Structure 1
Amino acid sequence: MAALVPICAAAAEERVTILAVHYPPFEMEEPIDGLRGFDYEVVLEAFKRAGIEAEIQFVPWKRAMSDVENGQATGALSCADSPERSDLFFISDKISEENYGLYTRKGFKGPVLSNIADVAGVAVAAVSGYAIFDELNSADAVAIPLADDLSGLNMLDVERFNYLYAGRRNNDFLIKQHGLSGKFDFTEFRSINYHVCFSKVYPGINDILRAFNKGLAEVRADGTYQAIHSKYR
């Protein structure tokens, strides 16, 4: 199928930069079993359909958010929408979704928390800078900041805390990869959609966003999206 004609001069003349963190199986800094992540593949393919050359660079998440907000990069993935982020970024159409909830140690006998309202006054860990960390603060939890998801799993395993708020697909992947299978239970709270968060001040961003969403719709419509995701099951 022919690629879309580039719809803005800025997109045609330069490579756009999308920032990400290592967040398997959504995006991986280095290939794992020859794969780079389903969001990684979908986003690059959507830009390709739009006639825009794109590269994905891996940086810490707080830097990604700062660089995109300041227009030093075009966008960031995989990015959950929130009122705060909608104020700072243009949000693309949905690229994927993740189920979020609480991990506890297998056999943990403490209180069962079944939804976000239950975390009020409870110490719960999450990666600092993620939208879910802000969600914990809004729910009046005692939010424990983490550097990354794997650190959270390891700290939960050695009883540094009792509750880890995190995404299931990402953390189940890490659990399997790092020999932690059978050590945790998971209680799902809700599903969160992921997007690309685009800079509001990047040159030509309105045309880039429109072209990306059009390319993404084409990727979904012709079966490419499903074919990419099928490789990760």
Structure 2
Amino acid sequence: MPAFLSLLTAMFLTCLSLSAQGERLRIVTDAWAPYAYQQDGQGKGIDYEVATRVFERLGVDIEWQFLPWKRCLAMLDQGEADGVLDIFRTPEREAKLLFPDEPLSDTQFVLFQATSRPHVANSLADLAGLTIGTSAGYNYGDAFMQASDFIREAAASQEANFGKLVRSRVDLVITDRRVGQFTLESMGLQDQVSALPLVIDRQPQYLAVRRGAGMDQLALRFAIELRRFKHEPAYTELTTRYATASSANKTVEQHESSAL
């Protein structure tokens, strides 16, 4: 049988397998606005909506759960979840999870400063002696995490970090650029806090699924459909909408995050 027909057959059998089970796939994630979050009990976010549309096209029914990050990872380890949204790809995670070849989005970790207390930061060396607000359990790249000449002070949420920044309890805050801007808009602090140009780290985010029967084909089909969707006007419309959504000053239900 030609290779292409073999692939189509495998995809078809995967669909039949999922349908025959009569069960939804359970996908877990934590709140990471504007990529994924809840508003009025409804799932929102760039990556959440993209993943939802891709699964709909694949005919796969999904049960979404928003939980603290450590709980998400524990559910995967215990077999209580079938996949996780917005996870970084590491060799350790690849031993347990299947990652589609196509990422959902890319993060860009930058530093935010209070406009009343500006800082010059062209490299990590310029952070010497400062206290940097972080989110508990998050990884900002080896260089930042292993540096010893500045203090990393963790908070339970993005909002808590920015609150400490404007009250001069930390010197700078590190987070993804989009997440920071979205959070500042929701808190009404966009005129009091600004991002510095230095990029500390970049990481692609994926939807990963547990290893198991038929899941490798699901990951393959997800990557193919995601890549196709990214070239459609509907994808551009979605990402543009979230790029300007923060200006509407929406109230975001942001759960406590623990790690990415």
Shorter-chain TM-score: which interval?
0.7 to 0.9
Q: CA separation in 2, counterparts of 1:69 and 1:134?
A: 25
Larger radius of gyration: 2
> Which region of structure 1 is more displaced relative to structure 2, 12-21 or 38-47?
12-21
- Residue 58 of structure 1 and its aligned partner are, at CA, apart by 0.5
> Which region of structure 1 is more displaced relative to structure 2, 191-200 or 115-124?
115-124
- Structure 2 residue 59 is matched with structure 1 residue 28: no
Pair 1:224–1:5, CA change in 2 (3 A)? farther
Q: How many residues in Structure 1 have an aligned counterpart in Structure 2?
A: 227
- Residue 180 of structure 1 and its aligned partner are, at CA, apart by 0.9
2:253 is matched with: none
- Corresponding residue SS for 2:35: coil
- Corresponding residue SS for 1:7: helix
Which of 193, 199, 208 in structure 2 is aligned with 1:197? Answer: 208
Q: CA separation in 1, counterparts of 2:130 and 2:227?
A: 41
- Residue 118 of structure 1 and its aligned partner are, at CA, apart by 5.0
Which of 150, 163, 179 in structure 1 is aligned with 2:188? Answer: 179
- Structure 2 residue 159 is matched with structure 1 residue 150: yes
2:4 is matched with: none
Q: CA separation in 1, counterparts of 2:15 and 2:185?
A: 44
Q: TM-score when scaled to structure 1?
A: 0.83
Which of 20, 26, 40 in structure 2 is aligned with 1:17? Answer: 26
- Corresponding residue SS for 1:29: strand
2:233 is matched with: 223
Amino acid at match of 1:138: Q
Pair 1:221–1:162, CA change in 2 (3 A)? same
- Residue 138 of structure 1 and its aligned partner are, at CA, apart by 2.8
> Which region of structure 1 is more displaced relative to structure 2, 218-227 or 167-176?
218-227
Pair 1:109–1:224, CA change in 2 (3 A)? closer
1:101 is matched with: 110
Pair 1:90–1:114, CA change in 2 (3 A)? farther
Which of 115, 128, 140 in structure 2 is aligned with 1:132? Answer: 140
- Residue 102 of structure 1 and its aligned partner are, at CA, apart by 0.6
- Residue 194 of structure 1 and its aligned partner are, at CA, apart by 1.5
Which of 41, 54, 69 in structure 2 is aligned with 1:61? Answer: 69
Contact 1:119 1:136 in 2 (8 A): no
Q: CA separation in 1, counterparts of 2:137 and 2:225?
A: 29
Percentage of pairs with the same residue? 22
Pair 1:36–1:117, CA change in 2 (3 A)? same
Contact 1:128 1:147 in 2 (8 A): yes
1:207 is matched with: 217
Pair 1:173–1:55, CA change in 2 (3 A)? same
> Which region of structure 1 is more displaced relative to structure 2, 136-145 or 163-172?
136-145
- Residue 37 of structure 1 and its aligned partner are, at CA, apart by 1.2
Q: CA RMSD in A?
A: 2.8
Pair 1:21–1:97, CA change in 2 (3 A)? same
- Residue 44 of structure 1 and its aligned partner are, at CA, apart by 0.8
- Residue 35 of structure 1 and its aligned partner are, at CA, apart by 7.8
For structure 2, list consecutive stretches of 5 or more residues without a partner in the other structure: 1-10, 245-260
Deviations 1:19-74 (A, max 9, x none): 12222221221259x98211111001111122211122100111112222333212
